[in-house]
Structure formats: structure tokens, C-alpha cells
Amino acid sequence: MPKVPISEAANADLNGASAGFSNVSRYRHQRGEADPVRNGIFIGLAIVLLVFLGSMIAVLTMHAPAL
């Protein structure tokens, strides 16, 4: 099969076109911003978990009064 000559101009066009799309992504990049609503939810869940654990400890330490 004979070799097809490729001009330098064609190579430059292809390289220039592909260089513009090297960092393109279909997905948004996540930013390093803090979300106050999410932080508030996590703090609320931590408080609820501590209250639940405290109530479980209180139930486990209870005993029936002597008759």
C-alpha cells in the first residue's frame, strides 16, 4: 500500500484542535466551598446520635424496684 504524504499544516491543524479539548469534561468539577446546610445537618445528626446513645445507656442501667 503506498504511503500518503501528510503535510505539516494538516498536522498543526489536528494538534491545535485536540489541544483545546484536553481538559473538557461532561461533569462539573466540585468546588472546595463549605456548605453550611450540610454542616448543620451533620451537627444535628451528631446531637441526635448522642441523645439516643445516652437514652440507651439510661435504659440499660435501670432496674426494677424491690418489692
Residue 37 is predicted with a pLDDT of 93
Q: Given the C-alpha cell 445516652, which residue does it identify?
A: 54
Residue 32 is predicted with a pLDDT of 73
Q: Where are the domains of the chain?
A: 35-67
Instruction: Give the model confidence (pLDDT) of 5-43 as tens digits.
Output: 666 655 555 555 555 566 666 777 767 778 889 999 999
Distance, CA of 45 to CA of 65 (rounded, Å): 35
